[in-house]
Amino acid sequence: MSHSVKIKNALISVYYKDNLEPIIHQLNKLGVKIYTTGGTEKFIRDLGVDVIPVEDLTSYPSILGGRVKTLHPKVFGGILTRRAHQGDEAQIAEYEIPEIDLVIVDLYPFEETVKSGASEEDTIEKIDIGGISLIRAAAKNHNDVVIIASKDDYSSLNNLLETQNGETTLAQRKAFARNAFNVSSHYDTAIFNWFNQDEDALTVFKQSEQKASVLRYGENPHQKGYFYGDLEAMFDKLNGKELSYNNLVDVDAAVALIDEFTEPTLPF
């Protein structure tokens, strides 16, 4: 059931390069062949590590101002091929498609661009197409492929590369896939909510909250409790224990009660 897979080929295409260097050196040490694009290619070459540009694999350059770089059967075929499937293996051999065992990709900063007050045109250009497609393809085929969709997972990946000699278990790949779908669903929610602001907006509710605080307990002491959102932005903790679910319910009731009055009021 562990279904260990050895990483032989990796595709790396990231917007943010923070903390990527140790992984690059570790992959190079393990003899992993690295395919990459644009700015990531320069970053890796500057580290003294050889890479293969994606256009050498696809025979197509980056086109349409960078809108199309990785959207090609030789890229997605290598990610989506099922290693134990005779038909898949025959086809990638026929079309000379390398099996891609590791995908490291992040997404254009859509939310940050919206918050900056950028123009609609600039915001549209930060809707990632290739990146989100790579994430979904690699996560779908987690049976054979490792997907890293956030720099939050870099340290975990680097640890696995060091301690497991470039091999991963199915459970590890599935956990990375879960994290990747969390990234992609949050991203799509932000894009939808940006579009859904006009007078004819759809009457649906979509929310994705990535930050959570662990409460002391839930409604009862034996239950777990979580607050989704930025709790520190609501309260300044001066001392004492962590808040519980019941504490927050009491605060909510008190604030609702206060809101009923427009003038100072004393209890009787």
Q: Are residues 174 and 115 in the same domain?
A: yes
One domain, residues 149 and 234:
no
- 26 and 73: one domain? yes
Domain count, the chain: 2
Rounded Cα distance between 225 and 215, Å, is 5
**Residue from 187, 263, 185, 247 nearest 215 by CA:** 247
Same domain, 221 and 176: no
Whether residue 233 is found in the same domain as residue 182: no
Residues 242 and 187 reside in one and the same domain: no
pLDDT in tens, the chain (268 residues): 468 888 999 999 998 888 999 999 999 999 999 999 888 999 999 999 999 999 888 888 887 887 888 888 889 999 999 988 889 899 888 988 999 999 999 998 999 999 999 999 999 999 989 899 999 999 999 999 999 999 999 999 999 999 998 999 999 999 999 999 999 999 999 999 999 998 899 888 888 888 888 888 888 888 898 888 888 888 787 888 888 888 888 888 988 888 888 888 776 6
Burial of 205 (0-12, 13-18, 19+ CB in 10 A): exposed
What amino acid is encoded at 15 in this protein?
Y
Q: Which of 5, 29, 39, 16 is nearest to 158 (CA)?
A: 29
What is the structure's pLDDT at 3?
80
Question: For position 135, what pLDDT does the model report?
Answer: 96
Between the alpha carbon of residue 229 and those of residues 197, 204, 211, 213, the distances in Å are 22, 20, 5, 8
| Largest Cα–Cα separation, the chain | 86
Q: How far apart are CA 260 and CA 96, in angstroms?
A: 71
Q: How far is CA 22 from the centre of its chain?
A: 19
Predicted pLDDT at 2: 64
* Amino acid in position 89: E
Q: Are 159 and 19 in contact (CB under 8 A)?
A: no
- The answer to whether position 206 is within a domain reads no
Same domain membership, residue 249 and residue 159 = no
Which residues lie below 8 Å from residue 88, measured CB to CB, with a gap of 6+? 81, 82
Amino acid, res. 234:
M
Secondary structure of residue 227 in the 3-state scheme: strand
Which residue do the tokens 């086109």 mark?
Answer: 63
Q: Does some domain include residue 202?
A: no
pLDDT at 268: 63
Distances in Å between the Cα of 216 and the Cα atoms of 220, 229, 239, 247, 268 are 10, 16, 14, 10, 33
CB 227 within 8 A of CB 215: yes
Identify the pLDDT of residue 217. Answer: 86
61 and 189 part of one domain:
yes
Do residue 102 and residue 221 come from a single domain?
A: no
The domain containing residue 244 runs over which residues? 212-258
Q: Is 172 within a domain?
A: yes
- Mark whether 56 and 142 lie in a shared domain: yes
On whether the CB atoms of residues 187 and 206 are closer than 8 A, the answer is no
CATH code for the domain in which residue 134 is found: 3.40.50.1380
Distance in angstroms (rounded) separating the CA atoms of residues 207 and 195: 14
For 146, which DSSP code? E
Evaluate whether residue 116 is within a structural domain: yes
